[in-house]
Amino acid sequence: MKPIKTTVFALTLAAATFAAQAERVQIAVAANFTAPMKEIAEAFAQDSGHEVEAAFGSSGKFYAQIQNGAPFEILLAADAQTPAKLAEEGLALAETAFTYAKGTLVLWSKDAERIQDGPETLRAGQFRKLAIANPRLAPYGAAAMETLEHFNLVETLEPRLVKGDNIAQTYQFAATGNAELGFVALSQVYRDGALVEGSAWTVPADFHGPIQQDAILLKRGSDNAAARALLDYLKGETAREIIRRFGYTI
C-alpha cells in the first residue's frame, strides 16, 4: 500500500502545482483565424493548463482598440503591417513577432453550381451582390479589391459590393444568401483538403499582395507566462497541424 499512497500523493501534488501555475491570456485574433484558433486554444489549455480568452474581429479595429488601451496581451493579425506598427509605437515587443500562417483568398458561393470559372463568373456579372471585407480594416478585403483591379472590374462591380466589417461577417453575407458571391478566406470554407460546401475559385497569389499573418506579444502581456507560452505553442507541431488542416501554409 505504501507505494500506492506515495504515487497518489505525488499526482495530487503535481496537479496542485499545475493549477497554481495556470494563468489566463487575453488575445485578439483576426476573424479569418477563428476556427483554427478555437481548436488551438482548446489543445493549449489541455497541454498547459493556461486559459485562453479570445476576441475575433478585423485587424484594423483591433489596432485602434489596442491604441486605446484594450486589455489584449497577444495580437494574431491578418497582416504583417499591424503588428509592426504597434511595435513602432511601443505597444508591442518587436522581437516576438513571427508569421504564424499565410492565408489564401477565395471567391466562394454557397451554390455548388455557380462558380465554374472564377474570372468568367466575375466578368459575366450574373449576380446581385458580391461580399468583401472592408478593405480599410481587413487585409482579405484589400486583397479582394486588388483582385478586382487585376481584372479591371472595380468600377463595374462597385455598386454591387456589400462590405463586412471583417471576414467573418463577409462570409455570413455569402452563407446566408444576402450576397450570391463573396471573397472569403479559404479557411472558412475548407477542411482537411476539401471544400466543405458550395463552389469556389482559389485566387492566384500573384493577383494581390501576400496575406502574411503575423503574431506579436503586446506590451501588456510581457509579464504573463501564459502569453509567452501560447506564442511558443503556435510555433509547435500541434498548432501547425491544425493550421494546415484549415488550408493555411506555414
In a domain, 224, yes or no: yes
User: Residue 200: in which H helix or E strand, if any?
Assistant: strand 199-202
State how far the Cα of 25 lies from the Cα of 37, in Å rounded to an integer.
13
CATH number at residue 50: 3.40.190.10
In a domain, 250, yes or no: no
195 forms bridges with which residues in the sheet?
190
In a domain, 26, yes or no: yes
Per-residue pLDDT tens over the stretch 130-149: 999 999 989 999 999 999 99
The C-alpha cell that represents 176 in the structure block:
446566408
Question: Domain check: are 135 and 227 in the same one?
Answer: no
Question: Domain check: are 113 and 235 in the same one?
Answer: no
In a domain, 220, yes or no: yes
Question: Domain check: are 22 and 141 in the same one?
Answer: no
State how far the Cα of 11 lies from the Cα of 21, in Å rounded to an integer.
15
pLDDT bracket for residue 1 (50, 70, 90): very low
Per-residue pLDDT tens over the stretch 171-230: 999 999 999 999 999 999 998 888 999 999 999 999 999 999 999 999 999 999 999 999
Question: Domain check: are 76 and 156 in the same one?
Answer: no
Overall domain count for the chain: 2
Question: Domain check: are 178 and 112 in the same one?
Answer: yes
67's CB contacts (< 8 A; 6+ apart) are 89, 91
Domain of 65? 2-102+211-245
- Give the pLDDT mean for 158-175: 96
How far is CA 170 from its chain centroid?
14
In a domain, 127, yes or no: yes
